[in-house]
Amino acid sequence: MILYAATIFSSAFLLFQVQPVLAKIILPWFGGSAAVWTTCMLFFQTALLCGYLYAHWISSRLATRAQAAIHSALIAASLLVLPVVPGDAWKPHGGDNPTLGILLLLVAVIGLPYFLLSTTGPLIQSWYALAFPGASPYRLFALSNTGSMLALLAYPVLVEPFLATRSQAYLWSGAYALFAALCLACVWRSRNLTQAAADTEYAEPPAEAPAAKLWLLWIGLAACASTLLLGVTTHLTQDVAPIPFLWVLPLSLYLLSFILTFDSRGWYRRGLYLPLTAAALAAMAYALTSESRMHAMPKAGLFTASLFICCMTCHGEVATLKPHPRYLTAFYLMISAGGALGGVFTGLIGPYFFSQYYELPIALVACAVLVLAVHYGGQSSPLHRLPHRWGWIAGLAATLSLALVLARQARMTVRSYRVVARNFYGGLRTADYGSPDEVDWTRKLTHGLINHGEQYLNPLRHRESTSYFGPNTGVARAIVSTHRDRPQRIGITGLGAGVMLTYARPGDYYRIYEINPLVIDVAKKEFTFIQDCPAKLDIVLGDARLSLENEPPRNFDVLHMDAFSSDSVPVHLLTLEAFQLYFRHLKPDGILVIHISNRYLNLEPVIARAAEALHKAGIFVSDPGDDDLGYFGTDMVLLASSKAVFDKPALRNFAPPATRPGVRLWTDNYSNLFRIIK
């Protein structure tokens, strides 16, 4: 049994260890968007489904000797793909479809090895059932999920802090080669097993073919848990940061629910998890509809704890419905199909068919409906014990209330905004505030939950600066202090509504780098900053860092780093290598301005470490803003090659950016957001 267990454990460990490795490598190539992980999960879940389909097909259609021959050939072929390190040729160009680009990259780089790893669990378990008649193979499923969870937990603790990302990929490739040898030994051991053992009597449940209703429940429960996982992950990473920890934590709890529910001791209890699930759904619904903004850690705690409870319920019900081992591969195939459906729903349907993030609210309602469905069909449900069907009435009322509250919130979102649109990079909304007879009648652009710029609609005030770009902000001080007596060259990452263009003058040159084509479209149609700009203006579509890497030095007087996705931080724009690139595009006396206003993270020490490493001078400019004039409070750090650059009236008397103990220099191979949480 040790050979089967070791093969399954190692395959599961590698299967989930490679997910954050590759996602982190390609994250900077696609703008650091939270949707990168969702798209990666779509690929991983689809590949897992293909692996389970393959395992089901060959185990049910072919003799074990033929299975061994085919599987051995595929394992040998997968070794030719190593190492799993994506080349620079896969980096996107401005305007490319990011979802298609990520999927094609993953198919080419990891497709065959990942497919083979995906087949291992169900295929080896089917051989185990033949080798040990009468023994339950389902504990090996729990072992598989244990390996998966350990791989995820090890990544942010033991792998990411100590190994460069490409070193991680090379190490994983070597470990895969060892797995291939182990798997081939298992194939050789199982090549002469006979199908006759599959008919061994098994006490519970009887060896009857599962009904169609059961198949649908397997798929539905698995799809619901998968959608909840991806919906919660997207919600957290969009407003905090798309970092491996916030990928790993929800996925680890998702896997832990599989481990506990499929363990022979049966950790799932209906009487306990029914009220817990109701509370979890209510808590997430409240957090989604409430205007209050929670701190990063309580918010992550609420959503991940609620996710775990809901996954325990979904997977616990799946485990209670598991069939005779004769139908083991079909059972796993349906679970995998449900997981893949959740990935398709959140990775493809959501970004391209929904105007806002409706996936998580839909998943919450679906979870409530499925819980009622499985309890209705089970006599052990605590709802059956209450007299006069009060339990069912309360359950139906609660589910209907949940659906109505979330639907009302979604309807209000659509009705109260002029534009509601969404793509791979996030959701955008515009709305007007005030009335035409008011001088402060404004139009605002919101990305996620964050204001990304606003404009006065009164024609006499169109060109007034607003929001984060008041006259006392760091970027305004930098612009008025650098050769304002002649035409200026200004670079900006992140267009937003285009408010920065209010500082443009005739003869100036402004170059804006914007990764999201939807932002450009909305800024042109809903705001007039671009049309009113008196300077020569170029808008470059694509990730700012990739674009700057491919351009000759631009000799900017000021380069303003203002790229945000909702409130999340594109980490690849804050590394040592990124700052070296920025200074290549600045004049010798130019100023680099980094906008670091953030609800959850203190980025000041990160910039301070980069300034120390590059021997640059820096100042920290905090502007409290002015609500009466429409200016927000902002934090910005200004860097220059010489302290003399800051010897200007608008830049004097500001302190250097402060460091923080334990915050190391960020590079493309190292970053740690835990150290800078406020």
Percent of the chain with pLDDT over 90: 42
Residue 18 vs residue 205, higher pLDDT: 18
- Least confident among 31-40, 54-63, 76-85, 385-394: 385-394
Bridge partners, 422 (sequence order): 427
Domains 1-195 and 460-676 share a fold: no
Domain 460-676 superfamily per CATH: Vaccinia Virus protein VP39 (3.40.50.150)
Q: Evaluate whether the domain defined by 210-415 bears CATH number 1.20.1250.
A: yes
b/e per residue 478-498 (b: at least 16 CB within 10 A): bbebbeeeeebbbbbbbbbbb
Look-up of token digits 């979330």: 406
Give the pLDDT confidence of 536-549 residue by residue, as tens digits: 999 999 889 989 99
Cβ atoms of 70 and 262 closer than 8 Å: no
Predicted local confidence at residue 201, as pLDDT: 39
Q: Mean pLDDT of all residues in the chain?
A: 86
Domain ranges of the chain: 1-195, 210-415, 460-676
- Least confident among 360-374, 507-521, 620-634, 659-673: 659-673
Spatial distance between the Cα atoms of 442 and 434, rounded to a whole number of angstroms: 7
In this model, does residue 458 exceed pLDDT 60? yes
Percent of the chain with pLDDT over 70: 91
Q: CA nearest 669: which of 166, 23, 168, 164?
A: 164
Whether cis (ω within 30° of 0) applies to the bond prior to 83 is yes
The residue-averaged pLDDT of 658-674 equals 84
Spatial distance between the Cα atoms of 622 and 635, rounded to a whole number of angstroms: 4
Greatest mean pLDDT range, 238-247, 251-260, 344-353, 638-647 = 638-647
In this model, does residue 33 exceed pLDDT 80? no
- Which tokens sit at 510? 């402004």
Give the pLDDT confidence of 151-200 residue by residue, as tens digits: 888 888 888 778 888 889 999 999 999 999 999 998 888 777 665 544 44
Q: Looking at the domain that runs over 1-195, which CATH code has it been given?
A: 1.20.1250
Predicted local confidence at residue 608, as pLDDT: 95
Which phi and psi angles does 290 have, rounded to 5°? Answer: -80, 145
Spatial distance between the Cα atoms of 590 and 588, rounded to a whole number of angstroms: 6
What does the DSSP 8-state code read for residue 644?
G
Predicted local confidence at residue 323, as pLDDT: 79
Cβ atoms of 490 and 536 closer than 8 Å: no
Predicted local confidence at residue 383, as pLDDT: 66
Q: Is 577 helix (H, G, I), strand (E, B) or coil?
A: helix
